[in-house]
Amino acid sequence: MHLFFRLILLVTLCGCCLLPAGGCGGPEPEKEPVHLVYRLKWLYNISVIGDLYAEEKGFFARQGLQVDIKPGGPERDAIKELEIGRSQFGVASADQVIRAVAKGSPIVVLAQLFQANPLQWIYRQGKQPIQSPADLRHRIIGITYGGNDETIFRALMAKYQIRKDELTLFGVRYDYTPFYQRKVDLWPVYRNAEGIIISDKLKKGGEKVNFFNPDTFGIRFVANSVITTRQMIQNHPQTVRKFIHALIKGWQQALDPVNADSALTMMARFDKDTPAALLRQQLMTTRALMIPPAGKNFGWINAPAWKQSADIMLAQKLIPAPVRTDDILILEKIGGKI
Amino acid sequence: MLHRRISQFFFIYLLALGLLLLFKYIFNLSDYVIPGPLDIHHTATLFFSRYLRDGLNTLSVAVVGHVLAVILATLVAIIGSRGNLIGSLIKTAAYNLQAYPIVAVAPVIFILLGDGLVSRLLIAAMICYFPLLLSFIGILTEPVADIEHFYVITGRMRWQLEVKIRAFENIGKLSTVIAGSATLAMVGTIVAEFIGANAGIGYSLRIALYQSNIAKVLVALFLIGIFNSLYLTLLEGIGYLVLKKLKIQNGVMS
C-alpha cells in the first residue's frame, strides 16, 4: 500500500509539472511565440514574392520573429495546418476560408493579398473577340471541376444567363496540351504566373493571346489572403501584429518598382525554372493585381467582394448556410492601418 | 469467404474512422479538418449513389485492365523464361520499367491517348503488369526437377510442356499472385483517374480534395474498400475452384 500511495504522489507531481498553466504553479501568461510557420497556398512562384522578400530582407527578424515560410501545393491546405497547430499563419483563397468557416473552423483573415483575382481565362485572339460574357456562347471553356475557377465560371453563367447547352465545359488539369492543340478555346490560368508563360510560348509561335477576366464583368471572387486562427489573435495579439506588419512591409517593398531588381534576383533563386525576362513580366502583372485602390493600404480587405464570394458559394450550394464574412475579416480589429 | 472479407474490411474501416474522430475530438478540430459523424452521414446520403456508380465504373476498368495485364504478363513471361537473349532482355526491361513511378509516366499517356477509357485501362494494366510479370517469370524459370527430369531424360521435353509443368505445379502461387495484383489494378485505375481521367471514383476523389471535403473522401474510400474486397473475393473464389478442379482431376488420374 505504501508503494501505491508513493506512486499516486509521483503521478500527481508529474501531472502538475506537465500542465502548461493552471498546474501547481498557478496560471502564467503564455509566452509570445518566436518561431512561426507560415504555410503558403502554392509552390514558390511570383505570387509569393512579398512573403519571401519579407524573410530575405529581415523584416520578420527585426520584429523578433523567426518565420519558416513553407511552400503550399495541391495537397497542402494551410487552414488544416493552422487548426492542427503545425502553422501559425497561412495563405488561403476566399473559397477555402468560407468553406472552412461554414464547417466551424476558427479561421480569420488578416490581409487580402490580391485585390483582383488572378484567375482568368487565356484565349487566342481570333476573328470573333470576346468582349462580353455573351461572346462565350458556343465556345469550349476549360474549367477545373471542383476548383474555384468552376465556381467563378458558374457564377458568371448564372449572372449572364448563359445556359449549359450554349457552351461546352471541358475538365482541365495541369497539362495545357488541349489548349495548345486548340481543342479548348479558353483555358483557366493564373494571369500573373502561368498566364505570362503560356502567352510567351504562343507569342513565339506567332499567336496573339488575350485574357478573359470575370472580375471585369462583376464577378468578384477573392483570391489569396493571409489567415490565422482566432486563438492566435486572442493569445498572441502582439505576435500577430508584428507578423502582419513585417509581411505587409515585405510585400510593399517587393512590389515597389524601385526594388524590382533586388526582388527579382531573390525570386530567381526560388523559382529557377522561369526565365528572368518572364519573371519581370510576372512581377509587373502581379503588382497590377495586388495594389489596392487609392486611399487604401496594402492588404486592404474588400469586404463587399468577400460577401459576394460567400453569396456565390451559397447560391451554388457549396456551403450549406450563409457565412457572415464580416466576422472573419479582422484586419481593422487588430489595429487597422499597418 | 465474402462475408469474412467484408466484415474484416468493416472492422478496419470503422477502427480507422474511430481513431480519426478521436483525434478530432481530442484536438477540438472543426468539421473542415475532420468531418463529424453527422457530416459524414449527410454526405453519404447525398453522394452514395453517385459514388457507387463511380466505384462500379472504376471496378469495371480495373477488372479489364487486370485481365489484360495477366494475359500480357503470361505471354511475356513465357518468352522471358526462355534462357535466350530475348528472355534476359525482357527480364531486364521489366525490372527497369518497374522503377518508373506511374505518376510521372501517366501524364505522357494522357497526352498521347487522351483522358478517356484507354488511358485508364493502360495505366491500370501497367501498375499490376510488372509485379505480375516478375512473379510469373520467377515461377516459370524455376525447374520442377522431379517431374522434368523424366521428360528430359526421355528426350520428350518441349518448351510448351515445360511451361505446363511449371504452371501446374505452382498453380497455388500463381493464383495468389493474380489475386494479390487485383488490388494493384484497382489502385492503378484510381491513380489514373486521379491524375488525368474524367470519370470514376478517382476522379470524384480528386474533386472532393479540390473542395477540401474530407467527408466525401471518406465515403469514396469506403466504397473503394468494398469494391476491392468484392473483387479479391471473386478472384480467390475462382482460384479455389480451379485448384479444386485440378485436385479432382489429379485424384481421378492417380
Coil, helix or strand for B220?
Answer: helix
A168: β partners: A140
Mutate to test the interface with B, among A79, A96, A103, A175 (most CBs of B within 10 A): A103
Name the amino acid, one letter, at A276.
A
- By the 8 A CB rule, do B123 and B101 touch? no
DSSP H stretches of helix in chain A:
2-18, 49-56, 59-62, 78-84, 94-102, 148-159, 177-180, 194-204, 230-235, 237-255, 260-270, 276-290, 303-315
- By the 8 A CB rule, do A67 and A55 touch? yes
Coil, helix or strand for A45?
Answer: coil
What confidence score (pLDDT) does residue A16 get? Answer: 41
Domains of chain B (ranges plus CATH)? 2-253 (1.10.3720.10)
Q: Give B249's pLDDT tier (boundaries 50, 70, 90).
A: low
Q: Give per-residue pLDDT as tens, B132-189.
A: 888 888 888 888 888 888 888 887 778 788 888 888 888 888 888 888 888 888 988 9
Residue A111, H or E segment = strand A107-112
- Tell me which chain A residues have a C-beta less than 8 angstroms from the C-beta of B32: 79-80, 83, 99-100, 102-105
Higher pLDDT, A118 or A330: A118
Mutate to test the interface with B, among A42, A82, A83 (most CBs of B within 10 A): A83
- Report in angstroms the alpha-carbon separations of A156 from A98, A212, A243, A321, B89: 19, 12, 36, 21, 57
Which phi and psi (to 5°) does residue B182 adopt?
-60, -40
Give the CATH number of domain A35-116+222-334: 3.40.190.10
Residue B253 confidence (pLDDT) above 60: no
What confidence score (pLDDT) does residue A327 get? Answer: 84
This model of the complex carries an ipTM of: 0.79
Name the amino acid, one letter, at B193.
E
Distance of CA B27 to the CA centre of its chain: 37
Give me B251's grid cell: 485424384
Q: Give per-residue pLDDT as tens, A18-76.
A: 444 444 444 455 677 789 999 999 989 999 999 999 999 999 999 999 999 999 887 78
**Share in percent of chain A as helix, strand, coil (round to 5):** 45, 15, 40
Q: In whole angstroms, give the CA distance from residue A335 to residue A89.
A: 17
Least CB–CB distance from B210: residue in A85, A147, A177: A147
Q: Would you list the DSSP string of A249-291? A: HHHHHHHSGGGHHHHHHHHHHH-TTS-HHHHHHHHHHHHHHHS
Domain A119-217 annotated CATH 3.30.1490.20 = no
Q: In whole angstroms, give the CA distance from residue B13 to residue A217.
A: 47
Percent of chain A residues topping a pLDDT of 70? 89
Domain A35-116+222-334 and domain A119-217 have a common topology: yes
Q: Provide the mean pLDDT of chain A.
A: 88
- Tell me which chain A residues have a C-beta less than 8 angstroms from the C-beta of B206: 146
Q: In whole angstroms, give the CA distance from residue A244 to residue A298.
A: 11
Domain boundaries, chain A: 35-116+222-334, 119-217
Q: Which residues of A36-56 are buried (b: 16+ CB within 10 A; e: fewer)?
A: bbbbbbbebbbbbbbbbbbbb
Coil, helix or strand for B212?
Answer: coil
Dihedral sign for Cα atoms in the order A92, A96, A99, A103: negative
Comparing CA positions, the residue from B188, B190, B189 lying closest to residue B130 is B188
Q: Is A25 left (phi over 0), alpha (psi -120 to 50) or beta?
A: alpha
Residue B125 confidence (pLDDT) above 70: yes
Name the amino acid, one letter, at B214.
I
Q: Find the residue in B nearest to A172 (Cα).
A: B196
- A111-115, A196-200, A245-249, B87-91: lowest mean pLDDT where? B87-91
Burial class (CB in 10 A: 0-12, 13-18, 19+), B169: middle
Contact B212 A145 (CB under 8 A): no
Residue B246 confidence (pLDDT) above 80: no
- By the 8 A CB rule, do A113 and A91 touch? yes
Alpha-carbon distance A77 to nearest alpha carbon in chain B (angstroms)? 8
What confidence score (pLDDT) does residue A74 get? Answer: 75
What confidence score (pLDDT) does residue B210 get? Answer: 85
Measured between CB atoms, does A273 come within 8 Å of chain B? no
What confidence score (pLDDT) does residue B250 get? Answer: 63
Residue B254 confidence (pLDDT) above 60: no
Q: Give per-residue pLDDT as tens, A241-256.
A: 999 999 999 999 999 9
Alpha-carbon distance B48 to nearest alpha carbon in chain A (angstroms)? 18
Higher pLDDT, A135 or B157: A135
Q: Would you list the DSSP string of A194-214? A: HHHHHHHHHHHTT--EEEE-G
What confidence score (pLDDT) does residue A30 get? Answer: 63
Q: Find the residue in B nearest to A180 (Cα).
A: B111
- Tell me which chain A residues have a C-beta less than 8 angstroms from the C-beta of B39: 103
- Tell me which chain B residues have a C-beta less than 8 angstroms from the C-beta of A174: 107
Measured between CB atoms, does A318 come within 8 Å of chain B? yes
Contact A175 B107 (CB under 8 A): yes
Comparing CA positions, the residue from A220, A218, A237, A219 lying closest to residue A228 is A237
Contact A103 B35 (CB under 8 A): yes
Q: Find the residue in A nearest to B114 (Cα).
A: A178
Contact B212 A173 (CB under 8 A): no
Percent of chain B residues topping a pLDDT of 90? 31
Q: Would you list the DSSP string of B88-103? A: HHHHHHHHHHHTS-HH
Burial class (CB in 10 A: 0-12, 13-18, 19+), A224: buried
Least CB–CB distance from B210: residue in A80, A146, A174: A146
Residue B93 confidence (pLDDT) above 80: no
Residue A13 confidence (pLDDT) above 60: no
Q: Compute and round to an integer the Cα radius of gyration of chain A.
A: 23
Give me B7's grid cell: 466484415
Chain pair A-B, CB pairs under 8 angstroms: 61
Q: Give per-residue pLDDT as tens, B103-120.
A: 778 878 877 887 778 888
Q: Give A121's pLDDT tier (boundaries 50, 70, 90).
A: very high
Measured between CB atoms, does A75 come within 8 Å of chain B? yes
Name the amino acid, one letter, at A75.
E
Contact B32 A79 (CB under 8 A): yes
